[in-house]
């Protein structure tokens, strides 16, 4: 079984997506073609990531969920000299998957360590919600005891891998270090004891702060999408139907409502006439011109969660559950525990 030790891992260099995305892909990893830093290590991590993913997908199915879609698209935003660039990036690229799977593995493993040691922590749980509708049942909650995260396909999931960015991760690392250093006596010396009121207050405060952060990010993404439409002088565009009168543009991740829209199958592609938009109230008005494609494009497949989330809140980009663990944006960690050799890694 995995073991946890409290130790320092020296960082030698950073491996960045922008430098490696063109060189490291499924084809080069399988064939061994190309030359890039830490090639052998990345090949090994890729095989491990695939094995970890397969285990999670089996667990998701055991929870009654469909496998994650591997062909969804993310968008990166850049603004240089007042020029907005929104670049499509396929989700699930090898470097993304390596980072995501190892983070899920670490957070799940450490969550189990806390639970088995009788030490409370801060967990992310999904799938045990109550209420009508998919979104209510699959709402992600913060709890202080181990509980399944069905979307990720793990029995427990404790945010722990980004202590410099999130206070919850720092709190969990204090608890994890207590388990690593004190074993069976960890519950006596851990900073937070079972049913600790301070731990509950941390969870409550974090939920509020995290919600505000997400709202701000979605607002800014919406603003830059509208700025891009004006910059490119877009008059007509295509969109994919998420649910009923909720659509997402295909060129940029902008979700809108189209009141009075006739019934169209979820996933259908439609063509829109852009009437007007407002960069102050972040609104966009459009007219339906035609249904361009009745069946969803392979590139535009989305999860059931995405349609329900977007229907509840226009502006929600409907991120897949796995995206909440891809925290090291622009970098991938390739860490060695060999004491004598500085490791490659990411901050």
Structure pTM?
0.77
Task: Give Cβ neighbours of residue 176 (< 8 Å, ≥ 6 apart).
Answer: 4, 110, 113, 114, 121, 160
Cα separation of 151 and 113, whole Å? Answer: 21
Sign of the C-alpha dihedral computed for residues 25, 29, 30 and 34 taken in this order: positive
Cα separation of 137 and 132, whole Å? Answer: 7
Q: What does the DSSP 8-state code read for residue 205? A: H
All domains in the chain, ordered by first residue: 15-195 (no CATH), 234-312 (2.40.50)
Rounded mean pLDDT of 283-288?
A: 94
Residue 70: pLDDT band with limits 50, 70, 90: low
Residue 304: pLDDT band with limits 50, 70, 90: very low
Cα separation of 39 and 24, whole Å? Answer: 9
Question: Residue 39, Cα to own-chain centre: how many angstroms?
Answer: 26
User: What pLDDT, in 10s, does the model give residues 202-221?
Assistant: 999 988 888 899 999 999 99
Rounded mean pLDDT of 321-331?
A: 38
Rounded mean pLDDT of 248-276?
A: 92
Looking up tokens 């490291």, which residue turns up? 24
User: What pLDDT, in 10s, does the model give residues 25-53?
Assistant: 999 999 999 999 999 999 999 999 999 99
């Amino acid at each position: 079984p995995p073991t946890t030790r409290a130790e320092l891992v020296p960082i030698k260099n950073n491996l960045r997506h922008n430098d490696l995305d063109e060189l490291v892909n499924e084809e080069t990893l399988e064939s061994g073609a190309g030359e890039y830093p830490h090639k052998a290590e990345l090949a090994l991590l890729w095989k491990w990531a695939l094995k970890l993913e397969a285990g999670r997908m089996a667990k998701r199915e055991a929870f009654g969920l469909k496998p994650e879609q591997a062909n969804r698209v993310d968008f990166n935003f850049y603004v240089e000299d007042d020029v907005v660039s929104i670049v499509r990036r396929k989700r699930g690229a090898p470097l993304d998957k390596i980072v995501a799977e190892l983070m899920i593995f670490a957070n799940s493993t450490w969550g189990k360590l806390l639970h088995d040691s009788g030490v409370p922590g801060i967990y992310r749980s999904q799938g045990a919600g109550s209420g009508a509708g998919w979104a209510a049942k699959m709402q992600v909650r913060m709890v202080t005891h181990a509980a399944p995260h069905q979307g990720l396909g793990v029995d427990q999931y404790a945010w722990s891998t980004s202590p410099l960015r999130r206070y919850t991760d720092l709190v969990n690392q204090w608890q994890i270090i207590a388990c690593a250093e004190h074993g069976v006596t960890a519950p006596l010396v851990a900073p937070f004891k079972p049913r600790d009121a301070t731990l509950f207050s941390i969870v409550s405060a974090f939920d509020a702060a995290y919600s505000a952060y997400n709202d701000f990010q979605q607002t800014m993404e919406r603003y830059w999408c509208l700025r891009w439409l004006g910059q490119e002088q877009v008059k007509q565009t295509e969109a994919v139907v998420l649910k009923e009168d909720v659509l997402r543009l295909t060129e940029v991740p902008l979700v809108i409502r189209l009141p009075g829209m006739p019934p169209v199958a979820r996933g259908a592609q439609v063509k829109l006439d852009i009437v007007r938009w407002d960069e102050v109230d972040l609104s966009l008005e459009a007219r339906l011109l035609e249904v361009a494609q009745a069946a969803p494009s392979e590139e535009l497949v989305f999860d059931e969660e995405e349609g329900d989330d977007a229907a509840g809140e226009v502006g929600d980009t409907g991120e897949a559950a796995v995206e909440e663990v891809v925290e090291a944006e622009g970098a991938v960690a390739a860490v060695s525990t060999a004491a004598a050799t500085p490791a490659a890694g990411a901050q």
